[in-house]
C-alpha cells in the first residue's frame, strides 16, 4: 500500500487543531502558559503523527496507532536514550488532564455518528460496557496494589 499524503496532511491539520484546543484548555483550566506548553505539545503531535504513519505503512501488522504512540514515547523517554531529558523537560508542561476534554468531545462525536449501530446492539452494549469497565477498574487496582506493595508503600 503506501502512504496517502492527503490523508496524512488532514490528520496533521486535525492534530494541530486539537493541540491548540488542548493548549487553550490547559491555560484556562490549569494556568499553564501557552508558550511554555507549545514545545511539549509539538512533541506529542509528532509522536502521534509518527504512530499514524507507521500504522499506515505497516497495514498487515494488527497493532493500533495508540500502541505505536505509546511505544515511541516509551523509547524516546528511556533513561539511556539521548532524547529522554529533552522530551521529558518539554512534555511535562502538557497536563494530561488538559488533553481529555477535546479527546472526549471527539469520541462523543464519533459515537454520535454511529448511533444506528448502537441501537442495533440494544441492551447487550450495556452489559458489555459494565464488564469492560469493571475489568479495567479491577485490573488497574490489582496492578496498582502489586506495585505499591513491591515499593513498600502499603
Residue ranges per structural domain of the chain: 5-113, 114-154
Q: Give the model's confidence band at 15: pLDDT under 50 very low, under 70 low, under 90 confident, else very high.
A: very high
Q: What is the pLDDT of residues 36-68, one digit of tens each?
A: 999 999 999 999 999 999 999 998 888 888 899
Angle (CA) 42 13 44, round 5°: 25
Q: How far apart are CA 44 and CA 47, in angstroms?
A: 5
Amino acid at each position: 500500500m503506501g502512504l496517502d499524503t492527503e490523508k496524512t496532511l488532514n490528520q496533521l491539520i486535525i492534530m494541530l487543531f486539537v493541540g491548540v484546543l488542548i493548549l487553550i484548555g490547559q491555560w484556562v483550566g490549569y494556568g499553564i502558559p501557552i508558550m511554555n506548553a507549545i514545545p511539549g505539545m509539538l512533541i506529542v503531535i509528532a509522536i502521534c503523527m509518527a504512530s499514524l504513519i507507521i500504522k499506515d505503512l505497516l497495514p498487515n501488522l494488527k497493532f493500533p496507532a495508540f500502541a505505536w504512540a505509546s511505544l515511541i514515547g516509551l523509547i524516546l523517554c528511556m533513561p539511556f536514550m539521548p532524547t529522554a531529558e529533552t522530551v521529558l523537560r518539554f512534555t511535562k508542561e502538557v497536563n494530561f488532564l488538559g488533553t481529555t476534554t477535546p479527546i472526549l468531545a471527539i469520541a462523543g462525536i464519533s459515537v454520535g455518528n454511529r448511533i444506528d449501530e448502537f441501537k442495533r446492539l440494544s441492551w447487550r452494549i450495556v452489559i458489555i460496557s459494565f464488564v469492560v469497565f469493571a475489568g479495567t477498574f479491577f485490573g488497574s487496582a490489582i496492578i496498582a496494589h502489586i506495585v505499591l506493595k513491591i515499593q513498600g508503600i502499603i
